[in-house]
């Protein structure tokens, strides 16, 4: 059987490995990872201090190890709460941990009682593990993180159960008074389970962080960070699927290409920061008025595209013109702008590209006709365009 000293050494190595792995994720800016890393680092430091103190630590060493352990538990709880998107620190929680620490100091320096110290430390560990497990399980409601969240919860709650058993054993006198490195079956069991559960928790936490990084990357690849519209690649992929479905079912579908008028002049006159806010504002106005079935994307620069499902060119033109009017009536930073747009319908035998070419041609016609208008290709003649402009 491994000695207690060896088990503590394995525990230190396990915590340090967790710190090394989590440390590689700090630059990813995933919320909570820094606190997780610090928490496991403190656990490694506390366990190392236990090894240095030996089997008969003095009062100062006991207080130091207890303080490090409590801080580690608090950091792991706060990190998990921060990862879950809530405020990491809670005053009542910090106050409770301060009370526990004061009691630990009392039962170490004033009225030494190893069993009371064991109960107090176990209470803190139970609380920390239950909260971490509950937060991880709540976060695991999404399919992408379900396994990782359940792994963290299972490991955390198994550890909590162990410390509950420890408290019961102490209260009913089943377990003898234990020092840190006393070679007893109880110490071996507790340390062994800590070695099993702590790495499982850290692995699950790394998996949760990794999944969040993947989701962030997927979001960046799908949605334009500035405007919130679909990126060009994501828009084209989804628009192609909608076009194929519309052609297969024989349902109408139209495409509009929109361009902010004189956008370069805005950048030159007011600066790129105002230009960026204007792009985001126009995107917000447009996307806020679209139907849930419509598709909205940013093709690049100040150019956007919309796929109107179940809408012929007449309906799509009316919808696009309503968007034009909404943008014209709004402003950002006292700067007003207008839109020009071209609308084209999807005909039998069409592709997304050919429909977009016609819409783009109509857009150029709108620009040439004076801007701030919607030009559409005719349902009867793909080469004919119609100018639609309503007053505010």
Q: Of residues 34 and 115, which shows the higher confidence score?
A: 34
The tokens of 179 are what?
């020092």
Nearest to 103 by CA among 123, 120, 115: 120
Closest alpha carbon to 117 in 78, 46, 166, 155: 166
Backbone Cα Rg of the chain: 31
The more confidently predicted of residues 118 and 362 is: 362
**pLDDT value, residue 12:** 87
Strands 339-345 and 374-377, by their bridges, are parallel
**Tokens matching residue 277:** 């806010």
Predicted confidence (pLDDT) per residue in 353-392, tens digit: 999 999 999 999 999 999 999 999 854 444 444 554 443 3
If you search the block for the tokens 């402009």, which residue do you land on? Answer: 389
Is 70 exceeded by the pLDDT of residue 297?
yes
Residue 182's pLDDT band, with cuts at 50, 70 and 90, is low
- On the question of pLDDT at 186 being above 80, the answer is no
Of residues 4 and 313, the one with the higher pLDDT is 313
Q: Which of 386, 301, 285, 379 is nearest to 342 (CA)?
A: 386
The pLDDT of residue 218: 86
Mean pLDDT of 304-310: 96
Better-scored residue on pLDDT, 195 or 109:
109
**Angle subtended by helix axes 232-249 and 352-368, to nearest 10:** 110
Question: If DSSP codes are grouped into helix, strand and coil, which group holds residue 344?
Answer: strand
More confident site: 48 or 294 = 294
- Write out the two tokens for 274: 């105002």
Higher pLDDT, 139 or 311: 311
* 16-63 tens-digit pLDDT: 999 998 988 888 889 999 999 999 999 999 888 877 776 677 889 889
Position 178 pLDDT exceeds 80: no
The whole-number pLDDT of residue 3 equals 66
Res. 128: pLDDT tops 70: yes
pTM of the model: 0.73
User: Do residues 253 and 238 lie in contact, with contact meaning Cβ atoms separated by under 8 Å?
Assistant: no
For position 141, what pLDDT does the model report? 66
% of the chain beyond a pLDDT of 70: 90
The C-alpha atoms of residue 367 and residue 169 are separated, in whole angstroms, by 82
| pLDDT single digits (tens) 321-355 | 999 999 999 988 788 899 999 999 998 888 999 99
The per-residue pLDDT for range 68-91, each reduced to its tens digit, is 999 999 999 999 999 988 899 899
- Cβ neighbors of 354 (< 8 A, separation 6 or more) are none
pLDDT score of 384: 47
Distance CA 348, CA 379 (A): 12
pLDDT score, position 380: 45
Residue 93 has phi, psi (to 5 degrees) of -65, -50
Secondary structure (3-state) at 179: coil
Model pLDDT, residue 262 = 93
Mean pLDDT of the chain: 87
pLDDT-based confidence at residue 1 (cuts at 50, 70, 90): very low
Q: Binning pLDDT at 50, 70 and 90, where does residue 180 land?
A: low
């Amino acid at each position: 059987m491994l000695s207690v000293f060896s088990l503590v050494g394995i525990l230190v190595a396990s915590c340090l490995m967790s710190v090394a792995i989590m440390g590689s994720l700090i630059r990813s800016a995933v919320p909570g990872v820094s606190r997780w890393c610090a928490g496991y680092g403190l656990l490694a430091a506390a366990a190392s201090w236990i090894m240095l103190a030996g089997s008969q630590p003095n009062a100062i060493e006991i207080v130091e190890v207890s303080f490090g352990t409590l801080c580690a538990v608090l950091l792991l709880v706060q990190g998990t709460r921060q990862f879950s998107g809530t405020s990491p620190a809670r005053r009542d929680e910090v106050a409770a941990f301060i009370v526990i620490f004061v009691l630990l100091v009392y039962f170490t320096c004033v009225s030494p009682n190893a069993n009371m110290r064991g109960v107090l430390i176990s209470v803190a560990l139970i609380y920390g593990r239950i909260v971490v497990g509950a937060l991880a399980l709540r976060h695991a409601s999404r399919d992408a993180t379900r396994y990782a969240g359940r792994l963290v919860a299972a490991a955390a709650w198994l550890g909590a159960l162990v410390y509950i058993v420890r408290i019961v054993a102490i209260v009913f006198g089943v377990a003898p008074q234990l020092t840190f490195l006393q070679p007893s079956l109880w110490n071996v069991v507790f340390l062994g389970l800590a070695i099993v559960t702590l790495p499982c928790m850290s692995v699950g936490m790394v998996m949760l962080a990794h999944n969040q990084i993947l989701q962030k990357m997927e979001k960046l690849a799908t949605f334009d960070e500035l405007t919130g519209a679909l990126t060009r690649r994501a828009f084209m992929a989804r628009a192609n699927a909608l076009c194929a479905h519309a052609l297969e079912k024989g349902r109408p579908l139209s495409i509009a290409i929109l361009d902010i008028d004189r956008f370069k002049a805005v950048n030159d006159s007011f600066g790129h920061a105002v230009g960026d806010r204007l792009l985001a504002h126009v995107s917000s106005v447009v996307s806020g008025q679209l139907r849930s079935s419509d598709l909205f994307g940013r093709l690049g620069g100040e150019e956007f595209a919309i796929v109107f499902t179940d809408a012929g060119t007449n309906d799509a033109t009316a919808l696009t013109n309503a968007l034009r009017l909404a943008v014209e009536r709004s402003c950002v930073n006292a700067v007003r702008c207008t839109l020009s747009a071209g609308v084209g319908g999807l005909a039998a035998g069409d592709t997304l590209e050919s429909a977009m070419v016609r819409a783009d041609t109509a857009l150029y016609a709108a620009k040439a006709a004076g801007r701030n208008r919607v030009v559409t290709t005719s349902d009867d003649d793909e080469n004919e365009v119609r100018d639609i402009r309503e007053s505010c």
